[in-house]
Amino acid sequence: MPNTETWGIIGLGWLGSRLSADLQAKGHSVWGTHRSDFDFRRDTLPTTSCDVLFLNTPPLSDIGPQLFCDKVTATGRIIFISSTSVFGMSSGKVTEDTLPTPETDSARWLLAVENLLRERFADQLTVIRPGGLMGGERHPAKHLSGKVDISGGNEKINLIHREDLIGLITSVPAAVPLVHAVAPYHPRKDDYYGTWADQLQLPRPTFKDSAFGSREIDSAVVSSFYTDWKCPRLDFI
């Protein structure tokens, strides 16, 4: 990455605001939009020039993927945040070479946007698919606390800490078109979330096994540019 760049961040929320702070601390210029002041359903993208346009919005189910992509204009690089949810209920080891099989409307929306952006901005685009997110007081164990008979206790976790996701975002080379962003640690869900509930002094969730084959999200490319993991074992918030 050059010494200084201008980033445009569409989505200054939980991830985007922290990314903005990190970039500015490193001397980069940043402009951005927040959900409270920008509506993809109505507004057009800001025309302010940037070296990197960072698209970080949740699936917008009431806007078709084509309409969303029609609003995107950029002469520089584009980074689009998608999700590993595009793999639906697939099992086994999943890498960037695995064919997505989305099973929800939101996952189908994300995959359609990936494909449309790739058609239009092939040489400019990097798609990043994070797993479940944690960090900054956010942890899935808080949401699961006290729930009973959650299906899939035997399945593996596929999470990433926000600080590592930001590290991946800011270090992925422009020549890399697709990245899976998941920490290299995949214990069983029942073990991991039970331990975290104890650490947070919350009621433990209870799980039951599922017949669904466990899925492990992996990356064939991350190790080539990102090795200094900050939270590889997902053991702090």
DSSP characters over 76-135: SEEEEE--GGGGTT--EEE-TTSPP---SHHHHHHHHHHHHHHHHSTTTEEEEEE-EEEB
| DSSP helix/strand/coil, 7 | strand
Whether residue 183 lies inside any domain: the answer is: yes
CATH assignment of the domain containing 25: 3.40.50.720
Checking if the pLDDT of 18 tops 70, the result is yes
Whether residue 145 lies inside any domain: the answer is: no
Q: Residue 42: what pLDDT?
A: 83
DSSP secondary structure string for all residues of 153-178 = TTSBP-EEEHHHHHHHHHHS-TT--E
Q: With beta carbons less than 8 A apart as the criterion, state whether 133 and 165 touch.
A: yes
Checking if the pLDDT of 179 tops 50, the result is yes
Work out the average pLDDT over 9-38. Answer: 94
Q: Residue 119: how many CB atoms within 10 A of its CB?
A: 10
Question: Confidence class of residue 214 from pLDDT cuts 50, 70 and 90?
Answer: confident
Q: Residue 228: how many CB atoms within 10 A of its CB?
A: 8
pLDDT in tens, 57-85: 999 888 999 999 999 998 899 999 999 99
Both tokens of residue 138? 């956010």
Checking if the pLDDT of 40 tops 90, the result is no
Whether residue 47 lies inside any domain: the answer is: yes
Read off the amino acid at residue 4.
T
Whether residue 231 lies inside any domain: the answer is: no
Question: Confidence class of residue 207 from pLDDT cuts 50, 70 and 90?
Answer: very high
Q: With beta carbons less than 8 A apart as the criterion, state whether 69 and 116 touch.
A: yes
Q: Beta partners for 151?
A: 208
Whether residue 25 lies inside any domain: the answer is: yes
Checking if the pLDDT of 26 tops 50, the result is yes
Question: Confidence class of residue 38 from pLDDT cuts 50, 70 and 90?
Answer: confident
Q: Residue 2: what pLDDT?
A: 53
Whether residue 142 lies inside any domain: the answer is: no
Q: Residue 53: how many CB atoms within 10 A of its CB?
A: 26
- Structural domain count, the chain: 1
Q: Residue 180: what pLDDT?
A: 98
Q: Go through 74-107 and write b for each residue having 16 or more CB atoms within 10 A of its CB, e for each that does not.
A: beebbbbbbbbbbbeebeeebebebebebeeeeb
Q: Is the pTM of this model over 0.85?
A: yes
Percent of the residues in the chain that have a pLDDT greater than 70, as a whole number: 99
Question: Confidence class of residue 1 from pLDDT cuts 50, 70 and 90?
Answer: very low
| Residue range(s) defining the domain that contains residue 17 | 6-136+159-187+215-224
Whether residue 235 lies inside any domain: the answer is: no
Checking if the pLDDT of 226 tops 90, the result is yes
Checking if the pLDDT of 5 tops 70, the result is yes
Whether residue 55 lies inside any domain: the answer is: yes
